[in-house]
Structure 1
């Protein structure tokens, strides 16, 4: 009952969160790409859209203004596509440039409604707008009427390349050309706003004052032209286009008599939204929606004005109603949340009542205790039977386990026996072929040995403790090599064995041993169930994300049940011959899963089988990991390693820090090395670093794989610290691959020895490195002020050391303690560092440096001998002269004059 109560509480909390966080979401989102909003006609279009959207609270609209820039409008439409809006409305700035992006949106499955201007393509969902050619024709008809079929006309438009200007001009010409007495004396088109090309209009009207009528492509132009005519004292008939409602708009200009007429050009804002709603709600709609147009002149302007005023009042009323609806929605939401909370509290009360009812019933169930005990006894009996069944199952699993062992040994044995039989039956012996066969036998004998080791790892699989030993290798060569192992068997059984791969090489990080087992197992299964004369094809494919290895055959195939249970542990099919023998496929799936991959099988009875191994493709570096086999020998309890110099009273010239986490190997090496060297044995890199800083040894021997910090990281730390960078490092590891050796060299190791190693080799390596270090000290002991002669890794330290001496050169109290403190080293560390590099102690080094500085000052400057003495840190010029003569067999004066 407690659980039921917890469920009720959880549901109550969820409902409360839902009630508190519930918010109205838009069902659809429209993106509106407006070419410009710099004129009242465009603004009126947007107002119409917003007015119509007030009836659809579930639709939101985002407006993007291109400011008459086609490139910007293309980018805005692309953004709508990326945002995956439900529908796009476009008023194209230019027809041709916008065609491609509108087609792209249409092809992407986004409905596109084009308003006002069309593109050069039919790839759009719907068009809403008036026919601009019809607008031009209406203007021509009315010009003919008011001029009574005779007169001259001046045409003015904006944007010569825009489709409205082109269409209006063509429609106007179509009517004018039908009347020979009407003459279009000039068509002036400019991309600039009217206020910027009024001077061109003024210049033309000044030169042609007798023009009878002016046809302006919009009411803004018409108004501007009327002002120009007024300033020139001309009274001209002017026809505009748009017919907008408002102060100084088309209808108002006609009413005031400023222009003769305007051609109504509806914005189509409301119609565009209506069409969009039909498209989004899957209602029938017209693709071509041509808007009504008419001529507004002095005769009907009053009617049009009244209609617009009425429409304006209705729109204002709609806005007020929409605002009221929003307010009512908010109130409804608040009341709804209150209702949710009430229901939640009611549920809590009911749950508490249920708990009380349950407690009352518990008292009445005391007489059922005996029945419950009987039921418990029956359940125990069932449990005993279940355990018995599990024991029988375990026995069967053991039998299957023995079958698995046979299965695993059978494949490599066959690859040993097959080439052996081939050699025995040959009439003539070919040395090269015999060698290749023996190499194959040798390889598979080793594989049998590995199988024995893998039997010991079965418990790791069951316990989930199996780990990968990944290294980067050429996967093509790896798979090809495995396939080639079966060439002799394929030839014997007349099987078409092929390796298919379009790549010459494929660097990839994987556990070679485990992937070898997977491929070897599946290919051997393919041979087992492929008849003589059949085919086995191994394919290696790769794309950006994954690698696929396909092993296909045309063998007996599997039934549906066998295919479904192919990877089940210990499963064996009903037939005497089955692809599911033992643990082979089950273990293969585990190894592939360790690689974060998957293995699939496709098979049909009598038609063959295809195994697909899918591995995620990632670039990886070589990963060093110590093999369990490295410490395969038994670890017996041994006495702790005795401290350095214990049982050995001899103190040697050279000290070695030995870092090895295997106690047996650590003790063995310590006993061997302390015969000739002072040996400091430790079992971790962290302790090793402490001993290195304490002793500043002559050489370091370190294992690669250590408990926390590995040998590569420790080597880098040693070589990057100026206190220890001069110390040679030998790395020991069970991994001898070239990649590991390269990584050791990058870390700065002076030698890299693979386990198991030859003790004499190790001792010779130690001896050689120490002798090289000693030769370097002797060589540069007389060149200490020329650090460029010393190897690059130590050059920086000596340069910094000499700069520090020069900085304090005139300080007569300069000491080893002061220099070591400035360098962040102990006195002992500094002494050992300088001695290791130059074979001199620090005091002699400072003295020689002062001497060289004094020589340079005496030769290159006119300073007195006393000034040179003080500048090089001598308190007494007399002592300076004595010191100088002891070192050079000349006095400072004799040196200067020589």
Structure 2
């Protein structure tokens, strides 16, 4: 049976191939026409006459492209025709000069090119067809000369500047007029072929100058525009208007002359039919004239009737030709269809015989397949039932998990309430002990509120997902309502020096809203604004009244939101890509849902900060489905906002008894509460410096601490980047770093170790563990210091702490090279190492436990001791050799260091 199938498909393929070849053989010639524009009837008439003439020649395929009055687009279209290798190219140039190059390109490619209507620069084209535009202008002038027996002024309205018809029509018109002394072209208005381009200028001209007797417009459209201006000023009986084109039809120049709107129009043939005939002669390799000039004639009240009758007959003939062509096309299609039908019937007769045999085979085979399918269907139904049963169980399981999550969230509220109540009681006690822990108690209260607010957000999110929210709508004065919320942020605005501004025009604006919901909406947006606005920033709230709605705008000067994320920022679990602060990602989602429940709208924009706009409809018609209270009430206090403020205590004075040589600790943490809590814990034993992460690297370079504690989630660079930069910097590479973060995954630990961190502690952490980690880091640094000071001569490049060893080797090499120079100072040494004097001092002190001067002096005395024992130089010579300017001072320093004078050592 396989050979039968192959035969079937090969036969179909052969018939399709034959059909395609027949169709291809009929399409012998392709003509591409680039039309300048089709905004006027004259050019549409040109296109129509081309299509009509082309329809009489089945072997011609005409493709017309509209350049829409764009030179660049016309160039691109012509290049497309060149690329497609059309047989003949016809172009109606928009402007002469820009189109010349691309037409020359077509000629170089061997494509015959016909230029129609407008000319190009030069003569590199196959043929030109069009009326003599100089003669058009001359005919218009002759009409005026023949009808004017007394001096008269004329206004000329020209076509688009740069086009050849405009230039030539104006040239012919002026030459003829200038020969008559009593006729003067008083003004020239430059148009663009459309009537709108001249109306304003003509109106001003008629108001400011003497009324002309004639107006000559370069086409009928501008002539009609001139008539409309003249009619507005009631001058239609005083001014005679002459146009150009003489199109047939309701809006054509012939009809305008017949309706006495225009005094005359110059017939300007389109040349479309003639262009196709020229193209046909070119494709038949016949010789043609290069310049084919079409005849023009003046149409006025004398001959307009005759011309209209002629055009009526021509139009009727065109319609008859089109109708006949349609009939011929139908007959050809019928013939082709019948021919194909006969071929198909012969094929089907053969195929019928094949299919009869094939059908018998299929009946047998299908019965066998049917039995197999019935068996498979039985198995599939059983599997589908199992899947449905599993899906139902999964749905129940998922629902139970969600219910468990909701119940657990409710359960969190009880212990949180007990914690906050208990700590409030402790905080209210006036005892000295309570006062000492007031900061910690405030932290507990504040963060308990934060947890409670997060739980409320989760519960709201669950209600939204279930669609269980129902509005309790109350008539509310929006300004006092919002002002009450804004007042909650005044203290934070003062602490961060943020300009908090609330603007409105009237305090009596009323809205119908669920107060609890909209309180959460406004509160959430303001919380975000303060969260992302830096110190000395701005937060502005504005209420604007529109016709049917009230708009509330919240604008801040914070980090803003990327433009491409405006739509997704309100989606659940989403947060802006430039937001490095951890968040749940459901706050703005809940905000949008609450606003939309009020039939309102919320949008966001960003330009030097973020701007949220909430639009709420006036009245209560849109909320009729809810119970509405018309009673104005005071501010609602039946629920708790759980306002969380950043607790920034006064500057910690530290322990006045702190030892003089106490080690320093730098804390890089953007959470001010945690930062100050750590500072409070550590200030009794260490000198504590603090950075919010924005200037973490700069602060480390400034103070060169003994230990650094760094968070990972920071506003500018993350903790990994800061750690990596400081470990790769010679000035700070020795500082032990403790990473303190909420990230507990293995990837983050590994990333921290690769960045050079010494210790990794996850939040929440035990204070004792942190204190011991700091002590351990300092102890290890002390052991390393002992190693450096006692075995520096035995250090090799592959040992532990290579960066520090490299630094000490370079330091020793510079000191040794300048040991004889008594004027070699610490400043010179720092300059050679390309670090500051202070940073050099702190680096050496951290690594060796001594000052730079003490270290240089010890190296000098060590070399002097070696020279005293192993050289024949006297004491004075040795003193000068190791950089002492005075042998006496050398002897004193040597005895102080080694307990024996140089002389005693020399003679021993």
TM-score (norm 1): 0.39
